[in-house]
Amino acid sequence: MNYHVLTLFPEMIEQGMNTSIIGRAIEQGLLSLEAVNIRDYSTNKHHKVDDYPYGGGAGMVMQAQPIYDAYCALEKKMEKKPRVIYLTPQGRTFSQKIAQDLAKEQNLVFLCGHYEGIDERVLEEIVTDYVSIGDYVLTGGELPAMVMMDTISRLIPGVLNNEDSAEYESFQNSLLEHPQYSRPEVWKDKRVPEVLLSGHHEKIAQWRHEQSLERTFLRRPDLLEKAPLDKKDKKYIEQIAANQAISDENVTEE
Ligand code: 9D3
């Protein structure tokens, strides 16, 4: 996977991505990352990249020319036209499914906006995908581009160690994970659940599965609609729901 980021803040991308697991994957040659400074492509003598909006209004608009020329310089080096993702609050909300789709590509171009936006004409010319990372307001597209690259990179073969990856997750995806414990056995008077010390692998697996069901019911009940639950799972959840109803009743009476 080769990432190309069009941005006014290339250092932010480089700093953010060169550490951790993604940095190691880049060193191993599994990924590449190029942050292109849009300003380097401005034909204006002051390297200007923005101007006032036609029709008036607050703030500045990023002009078409530097972005288009920066994109064309990238496209020239590729065999086929890449997907170009514009990070914008107006996009489809990013998801694991979108990440899986994008992970199939050889090249991905991310376009990061700032100011009040980008001249619509260059968006029409180069953008293939409009993507947001959720309904909250950031200052620009750089963090969203990094969120997307981080998510997509984990799906590239070899980036994660085998223990973490692929198939196991696709089932687990629909349920939250069970709680984890490590040494010591007692911390602040809290004991590690006895079953985990038993060495009884079947019982441990069952306990963990039940914890997953309970957590998902309590914290993310929306996920249960899509989860592949068997009869026993459904019974277990009904039982938790019933217990909860009883404790709610007790609280109300107090
Ligand atoms: C004139 C600016 N705002 C009007 C209310 C809209 C606006 C545009 C761009 C507000 C913030 C931004 C900067 N954010 C992004 O570029 C962005 C973003 C985000 O803010 N949240 C979630 N996903 C994304 S993807 C790009």
Residue 13 resides in a domain: yes
Amino acid (1-letter code) at residue 211:
Q
Q: What is the CATH number of the domain that holds 228?
A: 1.10.1270.20
The number of C-alpha atoms within 13 Å of 76 and in the hemisphere containing its C-beta is 6
Give the Cα separation of 18 and 33 in Å (integer). Answer: 9
Residue 168 resides in a domain: no
Q: Look at residue 241 in the predicted model and tell me its pLDDT.
A: 97
Q: Look at residue 38 in the predicted model and tell me its pLDDT.
A: 98
Q: Measured in angstroms, how far is the CA atom of residue 252 from the centroid of ligand 1?
A: 43
Ligand 1 neighbour 8 (Cβ under 6 A) = no
172 has pLDDT over 80:
no
- pLDDT class for 166, splitting at 50, 70, 90? low
Residue 164 resides in a domain: no
Q: Pick from 83, 240, 244, 138: which is nearest to 147 by CA? A: 138
- Do 6 and 96 reside in the same domain of the chain? yes
Ligand 1 neighbour 134 (Cβ under 6 A) = yes
253 has pLDDT over 70:
no
Ligand 1 neighbour 78 (Cβ under 6 A) = no
Q: Look at residue 167 in the predicted model and tell me its pLDDT.
A: 45
Q: Look at residue 171 in the predicted model and tell me its pLDDT.
A: 47
Amino acid (1-letter code) at residue 55:
G
- Do 139 and 196 reside in the same domain of the chain? no
Amino acid (1-letter code) at residue 63:
Q
Ligand 1 neighbour 116 (Cβ under 6 A) = yes
- Do 111 and 8 reside in the same domain of the chain? yes
Residue 67 resides in a domain: yes
Q: Look at residue 18 in the predicted model and tell me its pLDDT.
A: 84
Instruction: For ligand 1, pick from 86, 111, 137, 142 the residue to mutate: most ligand atoms within 8 Å of CB.
Output: 137
The number of C-alpha atoms within 13 Å of 146 and in the hemisphere containing its C-beta is 19
Nearest CA owner, ligand 1 atom 2: 116
The pair of structure tokens assigned to 227 is 């989860």
Residue 163 resides in a domain: no
Q: Measured in angstroms, how far is the CA atom of residue 162 from the centroid of ligand 1?
A: 36
Residue 38 resides in a domain: yes
- Do 136 and 205 reside in the same domain of the chain? no
DSSP letter for each residue of 171-190: HHTTSPPPP---S-SEETTE
- Do 123 and 236 reside in the same domain of the chain? no
Count of the separate structural domains present in the chain: 2
Q: Pick from 18, 25, 32, 28: which is nearest to 159 by CA? A: 25
- Do 188 and 122 reside in the same domain of the chain? no
CA distances from 34 to 37, 100, 159 (A): 10, 21, 18
Ligand 1 neighbour 86 (Cβ under 6 A) = no
**Which atom of ligand 1 lies at the shortest distance from residue 113's CA?**
16
Task: Please state the φ and ψ torsions of residue 132, each to the nearest 5 degrees.
Answer: -110, 160
- pLDDT class for 251, splitting at 50, 70, 90? confident
Q: Measured in angstroms, how far is the CA atom of residue 205 from the centroid of ligand 1?
A: 44
Last residue of a domain, one of 153, 187, 203: 153
* Mean pLDDT taken over the chain: 94
- pLDDT class for 178, splitting at 50, 70, 90? very high
Q: Look at residue 15 in the predicted model and tell me its pLDDT.
A: 92
- Do 108 and 196 reside in the same domain of the chain? no
201 has pLDDT over 80:
yes
Nearest CA owner, ligand 1 atom 1: 116
Ligand 1 neighbour 205 (Cβ under 6 A) = no
Ligand 1 neighbour 242 (Cβ under 6 A) = no
**Which atom of ligand 1 lies at the shortest distance from residue 94's CA?**
23
- pLDDT class for 116, splitting at 50, 70, 90? confident
Span of 43-52, 66-75, 112-121 with lowest mean pLDDT: 112-121
Q: What is the CATH number of the domain that holds 51?
A: 3.40.1280.10
Model confidence pLDDT, tens digit, residues 7-37: 999 999 999 988 778 889 999 999 999 999 9
Last residue of a domain, one of 100, 120, 153: 153
Ligand 1 neighbour 93 (Cβ under 6 A) = no
- Do 224 and 125 reside in the same domain of the chain? no
3-class state of residue 154 by DSSP: coil
Nearest CA owner, ligand 1 atom 10: 137
Long-range contacts of 24-33 (CB under 8 A, 24+ apart): 25/153, 25/156, 25/158, 25/159, 28/158, 30/1, 30/156, 30/157, 30/158, 30/159, 31/1, 31/2, 31/3, 31/153, 31/156, 31/159, 32/1, 32/2, 32/3, 33/2, 33/3, 33/5, 33/149
- pLDDT class for 165, splitting at 50, 70, 90? low
Which residues constitute the domain of residue 88? 2-153
Can you give the pTM of this predicted structure? 0.94
Q: Measured in angstroms, how far is the CA atom of residue 88 from the centroid of ligand 1?
A: 6
Give the Cα separation of 208 and 197 in Å (integer). Answer: 13
- Do 142 and 248 reside in the same domain of the chain? no
Q: Measured in angstroms, how far is the CA atom of residue 178 from the centroid of ligand 1?
A: 35
- Do 121 and 187 reside in the same domain of the chain? no
Last residue of a domain, one of 101, 122, 153: 153
Q: Look at residue 20 in the predicted model and tell me its pLDDT.
A: 73
